[in-house]
Amino acid sequence: MSVPAGNLLGGLPSGSLPDELFTTLTETASSGTVRIERILSTGQASPDGFWYDQGWDEFVLVVQGAARLQIEGEAERALGPGDWMMIPARRRHRVAWTDPDAPTVWLAVHIGEPEGMTEGMDE
């Protein structure tokens, strides 16, 4: 059996994208359900009034670029390379801004996500 491996910054498309690009890197249910993904943003943000409301914990890390996340009831938080957040399950949050002039690459780890679930968004 082959061991999965890759480069988080490899194979990035050039130019702006109409939507964020989500790429699942690996997932497992052997010791609790975990999904690890790369997210590529090129100026996208959550629509006005939209909040993610997921039933699982999510760890996010900005690898490259810049973004601002907002947790409901709190001020926006600026994130740059190396900055991370641990967003607890059911904690409403949104992407307020991502850099439109340079790609923002995120590493997201979804912990306790129901098997086969790729979104958990409620408005």
* Interval 91-109: pLDDT, tens: 999 999 999 999 999 999 9
pLDDT at 123 over 60: no
Write the pLDDT tens digit of every residue in 24-55. Answer: 999 887 667 899 999 999 999 999 999 999 99
pLDDT at 5 over 50: yes
pLDDT at 120 over 80: no
Q: Would you state the pLDDT for residue 85?
A: 98
Compute the distance between CA of residue 114 and CA of residue 120 in angstroms, rounded to an integer. Answer: 10
14 or 41, greater pLDDT = 41
Looking at 1.10.150.130, 3.10.180.10, 2.60.120.10, 3.10.450.40, the CATH number of the domain 21-117 comes to 2.60.120.10
Q: Which of 45, 58, 66 is nearest to 108 (CA)?
A: 58
Whole-number Cα distances in Å, 89 to 23, 41, 109, 112: 21, 23, 12, 9
**Mean pLDDT over each residue of the chain, to the nearest integer:** 90
Query: Which range (25-29, 36-40, 60-64, 118-122) has the least confidence?
Result: 118-122
In the chain, domain spans: 21-117
